[in-house]
Amino acid sequence: MDEKEKLYLENFKTYLSVEKNFSSHTITAYCSDIISFLLWLNGLSCLDVEYNKLREYLHFIQRFEYKKTTIARKVAAIRTFYKYLLRDRYIENNPSISLSAPKRPKPLPKFLTPYEVEKILNNVKIDTPAGFRNRVIIELLWATGMRISELSNLNFGDLNLEENEIRVFGKGAKERIVLVSDRAKNYLTQYIKTARNLIAPDYNTAETDENSPLFINKTGFRLQNKTIRTVINEVVQKIELPKKVTPHVFRHSFATKLIENGADLRVVQELLGHAGISNTQIYTHISMKHLREVYDSAHPHGK
């Protein structure tokens, strides 16, 4: 890569982080995909690429027998890269606008039952300030359906606990309000009053303003996504739950429970921060699957 392309790549990384609000994992994957693409161009400027050249690249990567999901991500990275180049007026036309990826299979999202969620919550050790913080985090994931990045980025200025509301910033820095259950609010309030200031005793964390991070680590800085994932993994392994549980599984569980209890699809869409209703409709399939299972097990003419 020449110096210009290195600059494009660095600015693209900033674009993904600041404007698109992508996770660090996605940013790393996209940038890696673009580096591979730029190296494949072998001296041809990315600004001079046309649609046929992109098709040639897709044909080239087919030989590596990537999964469909990997190829779809690589296509998404290229499309996003050229959208960025067009937006910053490096190019006049977007050669990737008609570029299509192989259709990815859409398995139903995995989710937890309320019993399984409570089992996880009850096995979080809360006898230390950090342990109590961890309990609050899982309570909020289950109660609000927030993404892990939305939760870790919460500041004090985002809280409106008198109204059981929290402001979050989702993908593309899109702002929305999520609702908090009384139980989750009580845990959060207790965390703010007591546990938070004890997590980093060697640092001045008592003085807060609206931009202060809500969840902190032992050095007083904002808690990172990786730590939250580790906490969940440790609890799940401890209770030997026969499911892979990630922070996003709590989001799926939140949405599934709302749908099963008769929540309007548009309301669920708003709470989850989905751009389109099609992303939310998958939870109706989960609900129907659950209904079929109940019918098959309970009705005399079931299975």
| Amino acid letter, residue 250 | F
Query: Residue 177 has what pLDDT?
Result: 92
Query: Residue 300 has what pLDDT?
Result: 62
Query: Residue 232 has what pLDDT?
Result: 92
8 A C-beta contact, residue 196 and residue 205: yes
| Amino acid letter, residue 288 | M
Residue 216 DSSP code: B
* Dist. CA 167–CA 228, nearest whole Å: 20
Q: Which residues of the chain have pLDDT under 50?
A: none
39 backbone dihedrals φ, ψ, rounded to 5°: -65, -40
8 A C-beta contact, residue 185 and residue 32: no
Strand partners, 167: 177
Two tokens, residue 162? 């008198």
Query: Residue 90 has what pLDDT?
Result: 94
Q: Report the alpha-carbon angle 262-265-267, nearest 5.
A: 95
Query: Residue 147 has what pLDDT?
Result: 93
* Dist. CA 298–CA 303, nearest whole Å: 9
**Which residues form the catalytic set?**
147, 171, 248, 251, 274, 283
* Dist. CA 271–CA 265, nearest whole Å: 10
Query: Residue 268 has what pLDDT?
Result: 87
Query: Residue 104 has what pLDDT?
Result: 64
Query: Residue 126 has what pLDDT?
Result: 94
* Dist. CA 233–CA 17, nearest whole Å: 26
Query: Residue 291 has what pLDDT?
Result: 58
3-state secondary structure of 179: strand
- Helices and strands, counts by H and E, the chain: 13, 3
Question: How far does Cα 297 stand from its chain's mean position?
Answer: 35
3-state secondary structure of 262: coil
Q: How many CB atoms lie within 10 A of CB 204?
A: 9
Question: How far does Cα 11 stand from its chain's mean position?
Answer: 23
* Dist. CA 225–CA 201, nearest whole Å: 22
Query: Residue 293 has what pLDDT?
Result: 67
Two tokens, residue 219? 């050095």
Query: Residue 290 has what pLDDT?
Result: 63
